[in-house]
Amino acid sequence: MKLLSTYFSMVIMQIITPANAEFITITKNNHKYDVSAQFETFADICSTWDQITDYEDLPSFMPNLVTSETLRKSGNKKVVRQVYLVKIFLFLFKLENKFLITEHFSKKKINIQQISGDLMDYSATWKLFKKKEKTVINLSASITPTQFQMILLSKNKIDERFKTMTNALIKRLDSIDKSDGC
């Protein structure tokens, strides 16, 4: 049961991977999966930043995310706890993860590092930049499951979860009111 929970925790834990991705690439190196994605939204860069960094609001539109709360803030660093409910066949699994998130507002960059959870390691970097009337989001993530978890994982399963999350994020970003600028 914990093994299946870990798989879904891994692919859901980075909640904000967008959907009209120009590309999502997943490579496996030894026991680690590297994910790269690039996607665009019609939302301006400030609205995109505000939505992505509003951790408490993420459950309102992200599939399977039940709770997302900021536990601590110190300058540009936050510790965020997220709880997911994932249904696998007839079973529901509750997953809890904590992340250290460092926001670099002036660079429109977010670094995420797993503090606790079922994986050996998880980290990600988000970068936003303006391109004409759109915002481009680059995401790179590194996921290291345990040896036992590797049995359940495949590139296709990870790709499927990232696409589900990206669809939810793009839909949300393209529907929000735009800001006047940062």
| pLDDT, position 107 | 97
Decide if pLDDT at 91 tops 90.
Answer: no
Q: Which amino acid is at 41?
A: T
Higher pLDDT, 112 or 90: 112
**Number of neighbouring beta carbons within 10 Å of residue 41:** 24
First to last CA, the chain: 45
Decide if pLDDT at 116 tops 70.
Answer: yes
**Number of neighbouring beta carbons within 10 Å of residue 94:** 11
Token pair, residue 46, equals 């400030």
Q: Which amino acid is at 21?
A: A
Percent of the chain with pLDDT over 90: 45
Q: Which helix (H) or strand (E) holds 30?
A: none
| Beta-strand pair 77-88/134-144 | unpaired
